[in-house]
A and B are shown apart, each in its own frame.
Chain A
Amino acid sequence: MKIVIVDYNVGNINSVFFALQRLGVNAIVSDDASVITSADKVILPGVGTANFAMQSLCKKGLDKVIINLTKPVLGICLGMQLLCEHSEENDTPCLGVFKHKVKRFSGTLKVPQMGWNTINNLIGPLFENLDESAYQYFVHSYYVGLNSQTIATTNYLIDYSAALQFENFYGVQFHPEKSSKPGSLILKNFINL
């Protein structure tokens, strides 16, 4: 099994790599199109800002590589947002796999949302054996609303998507690599897809 973590100068690549290592998986960290294309599973991590991350992906020519992948892909946090159509963060056009817009939280609560929140209404194999309302670690200022591709929900001021799926593409708004046992179960489920 060849698991590739896409390397495009964002923050949490090592965290994802170490989390997989704790599951006994030695992932490959790469920005090489041929390595990514030949992977069994691809993880698109992401901590940082949407415009900077998109620029970095495009500069490496990885935008087209990612959208054409046919094997399971998991976008994490900003990685999930980049798989959407557009982000309000610096008005950034994104990859467009999920036909949704990424919006900024507005209202009375503190932004970023930082900490542990529950994920609910879990659908599909990514959440196999995971308890409904399991806690996951979130750090984000932007979100994707509920839609037909939502496979998990959460609430911070409003109900929104904790996870999305379209065909072979999965996205999670939280950080499974930092979410203790419930998080590593999700990574394990992704590896086993």
Chain B
Amino acid sequence: MALTKRIIPCLDVSGGKTVKGIHFAEMVIMGDPIIMAKQYAIEGADELVFLDISATIEQRKTFAKLVSQIAHEIDIPFTVGGGIQSISDVEVLLKAGADKISINSAAIKNPQLLTELNKQFGSQCIVLAVDAKCIDGVSYIFSNAGKVFTGIKTIDWVKQAESSGVGEILLTSIDHDGTKEGFALELIDTISNAMSIPVIASGGAGNAYHFKTLFASTNCDAALAASIFHNGNLSLPDLKISLKNNNINVRL
């Protein structure tokens, strides 16, 4: 027995509802995040991620309340993120009961923030979310929900973040997100092998085979997916049994 590979359903939340966009656009309402989260926990989700994609301050307040509700009701670890700008944003969410926070654009704007967060809260609760896109064969990071080209190479950014004390990398391939055609295997393998901290792969999950291929061919630690679970196209128990049958070590 050993540490298992984690399967992580992700819930994008806006105005208190779970939504899903394709290629970081076009939102569709999927359901109530608490009900969905509870169901996923029962079905064997190893962790959950809740991303606040609200546009307004009013909706953001709703999110902090939701985090507290999740913490009351869910008995597995969960990460929250989306729009985190400052140490005080992080403090509010951790106090509300989140186990980890994920940070993205704010860290790109101010990399020093990662060092400060590590110092104040410890690396174990700081997840760096990275949105990567391939341009002419080179992977670059994008900020502001995948909209803004930064010119920073993905590998350079995750290396820098690791040395700043980030505890985990959530790596989303913008090219693969929403396509349901499989994970960005090459990118994920490159980044996982370059890191001594855990890497969560995200973007492109369409069926159980994609997860199997991901874990069999890369060194990543966890896989995150959203719509494939929300739509009911793939159930967590079926996925985990299928992985187990393919000699991938998962918690059943």
Contact = CB atoms under 8 A, between A and B. Distances in A.
Interface stretch (A12-20, A31-39, A67-75, A79-87): A12-20
B197 A15 contact: no
Contacts of A118: 1
Contact of A110 (B71, B77, B195): B195
Chain B, interface size category, equals 20 to 34
Main secondary structure of the interface of A (DSSP, over half): mixed
Main secondary structure of the interface of B (DSSP, over half): loop
Given A11-B94, A118-B1, A135-B251, A110 B197 contact: yes
Contacts of B221: 110, 114-115
Among A115, A138, A175, chain B packs the most CB atoms within 10 A around the CB of A115
B21 interface: no
Nearest to B2: A155
Given A14-B97, A120-B1, A178 B75 contact: yes
A166 interface: no
B24 interface: no
Nearest to B1: A118
A45 B121 CA distance: 15
A140 B3 CA distance: 12
A78 to B, nearest CB: 9
B206 to A, nearest CB: 24
Interface string A113-129: 11111101000000000
Contact of B4 (A21, A117, A141, A179): A117
A112 interface: yes
Interface string B32-52: 000000000100001000000
A97 interface: no
Interface string A99-117: 0000000000011111111
Contacts of A184: 75
B38 to A, nearest CB: 12
A159 B115 CA distance: 32
Given A19-B75, A112-B167, A179-B75, A47 B122 contact: yes
A117 B1 contact: yes
A116 B3 contact: yes
Interface in B1-32: 1-6
A179 B99 CA distance: 12
B1 A155 contact: yes
B196 interface: yes
A116 B198 contact: no
A168 interface: no
A8 interface: no
A115 B5 CA distance: 8
Nearest to B121: A11
B95 interface: yes
Interface string B103-143: 00000000000000000011111000000000000000000
B201 interface: no
B222 interface: yes
Nearest to A111: B196
Given A15-B99, A49-B122, A116 B1 contact: no
Interface string A135-178: 10111110000000000000110000000000000000001011
Contacts of B196: 110-111
A114 B124 contact: yes
Interface of B: 1-6, 41, 46, 71-73, 75-77, 94-97, 99, 121-125, 167-168, 195-198, 221-222, 251
Given A111-B197, A114-B168, A116-B46, 7 more contacts: A22-B73, A22-B75, A112-B167, A115-B198, A117-B3, A141-B124, A181-B75
25 contacts: A11-B94, A12-B99, A18-B72, A21-B72, A22-B72, A22-B73, A111-B197, A112-B123, A112-B167, A114-B124, A115-B198, A116-B3, A116-B4, A117-B4, A137-B76, A137-B77, A138-B3, A139-B77, A141-B124, A155-B1, A178-B75, A180-B75, A180-B76, A181-B75, A183-B75
Interface of A: 11-12, 14-15, 18-19, 21-22, 47-49, 110-118, 120, 133, 135, 137-141, 155-156, 175, 177-181, 183-184
